[in-house]
Amino acid sequence: MSVFSIWKRTLTAENTVVEGVRIDENEQCVVVSVRPDARRRQRCGRCGRPAPWFDAGRGRRRWRDLDHGVMRVFLEADAPRVDCRRHGVTVTAVPWARHGAGHTYAFDQQAAWMASECSKSATAQLMRTSWRTVGAIVERVVADRDRAVDRLAGLTRIGIDEISHRKGQKYMTVVVDHETAKVVWMADGHGKDVLDRFFDDLGKQRTARLTHISADGAAWIAQVLAERAAGAVRVMDPFHVIAWATDALDVERRASWNRARRQAADPDTARALKDSRFALWKNEADLTDRQAAKLTWIAATDPRLHRAWRLKEALRAVFTLAKTRPTAALSALDRWIGWARRCRIDGFVDLQRRIRRHHQAIRAALTTGMSNGLIESTNTKTRLIIRRGFGFHTADAIIALVMLTLASDRPTLPGRQPATE
Ligand SMILES: [Zn+2]
């Protein structure tokens, strides 16, 4: 077997002829001279159709390929131009790389795999490229993969969430399929216009097939849903309701702390209340011994704050009960509303009003048995990925990274079969 055919075998490129291999001493890299084979020559880079020759273009070009041993590898070839009937003068297509890309398919594929599996710095270091370049690669890999996929087909139960990033100044809108917990649509920005765009993309027919839509309690969401998807049941996201209760509790904790601080005689109580935040936030079942002791202490020294904590825990219990006994959860919710109405703690009196305002959507959350845990974990993952995508050049690259990881099966490594389990 000749050296050229060994090189040909190590490349994942199809329809490619290896003409030579050399070391570029200046660049300290391996340069593999290649050309498309006879069947792939002289095709338009945009549509792939055969087209008449135009000129030699800008001469030889290089594409970064996967490393060989410790050295970087570049494929090098002529890049002539053709005159396509549809696209005019265009650089010819090459079988080893996407049109306009400076990296081979194999390089793109490995960078995309790493971006979805590894940290930002591990990806950039191992691929010897910038995180920004990884962003551009992820964008073109996802665009290619999704060209023939209709993620909005067959949806019946969806969840809409707005995810804030850059310290709450900017938002992205994410739509998740409740059946699969996959992200099906995403856009930069939030508000009525963005959500309208989603329903435009979805179209009337597919919108008519939606049975349930979960979202937070924002008035504008309710308004858009009433206008665009009146046939679907609006369902409140339980984790938003729990978050309201946690916020109400935190207001109460701070008020208690300020009261204790003002009574100058009581600096220890003030300090202890200040550190009690985590004990008050956590699920009762997840408390450490120290946190449980802190709650016992709060019960003895600040019965009002302890009552607020019990209200929050009781509301959480309503949603836990719904998983096994939805009907019982409905009456538990009404008992909770009665309790909160009479509790004389302003934050929770307000919260019960808010819950009554969204009564129908919350009741729907208790009875439809939608897999909110799955959606919540998808949202948590989306937040993490958005944060990882910060170094990218554009919001589109951040969105592509989310879609790469959470819209379908994760990418595979080049030259490997997808795992069969
Ligand atoms: Zn063309």
Tens of pLDDT, residues 32-73 = 999 999 999 999 999 999 999 999 999 999 999 999 999 999
104-109 average pLDDT score = 96
Tell me: pLDDT of 149 over 80: yes
**Cα of 50 from ligand 1 centre, angstroms:** 8
The least confident of 51-60, 118-127, 149-158, 377-386 is 377-386
134-158 average pLDDT score = 93
**Cα of 47 from ligand 1 centre, angstroms:** 4
**137 vs 10, residue with greater confidence:** 137
**Cα of 46 from ligand 1 centre, angstroms:** 5
**Cα of 42 from ligand 1 centre, angstroms:** 11
**Cα of 48 from ligand 1 centre, angstroms:** 6
pLDDT tens digits along 235-280: 988 888 998 999 999 998 888 888 877 776 667 777 777 777 777 7
d(CA 270, CA 305): 13
Its pTM stands at 0.83
Tell me: pLDDT of 296 over 90: no
The least confident of 161-175, 228-242, 353-367 is 161-175
All residues at 6 or more sequence positions from 95 whose CB lies less than 8 Å from its CB, including other chains = 13, 14, 15, 16, 36, 37, 40
pLDDT band at residue 168 using 50, 70 and 90 as cut-offs = low
**Cα of 187 from ligand 1 centre, angstroms:** 30
Tell me: pLDDT of 283 over 80: no
**78 vs 162, residue with greater confidence:** 78
**Cα of 61 from ligand 1 centre, angstroms:** 20
**Cα of 148 from ligand 1 centre, angstroms:** 19
Q: In the prediction, which pLDDT does 421 show? A: 45
Sign of the alpha-carbon dihedral angle for 325, 328, 334, 337: negative
**Cα of 393 from ligand 1 centre, angstroms:** 29
**Secondary structure (3-state) at 335:** helix
In eight-state DSSP terms, residue 412 is P
Reading across the β-sheet that carries 16-24, which strands appear in turn?
Answer: 16-24, 29-36, 71-78, 60-68
**Cα of 292 from ligand 1 centre, angstroms:** 69
Q: In the prediction, which pLDDT does 185 show? A: 96
**94 vs 171, residue with greater confidence:** 94
**Cα of 43 from ligand 1 centre, angstroms:** 8
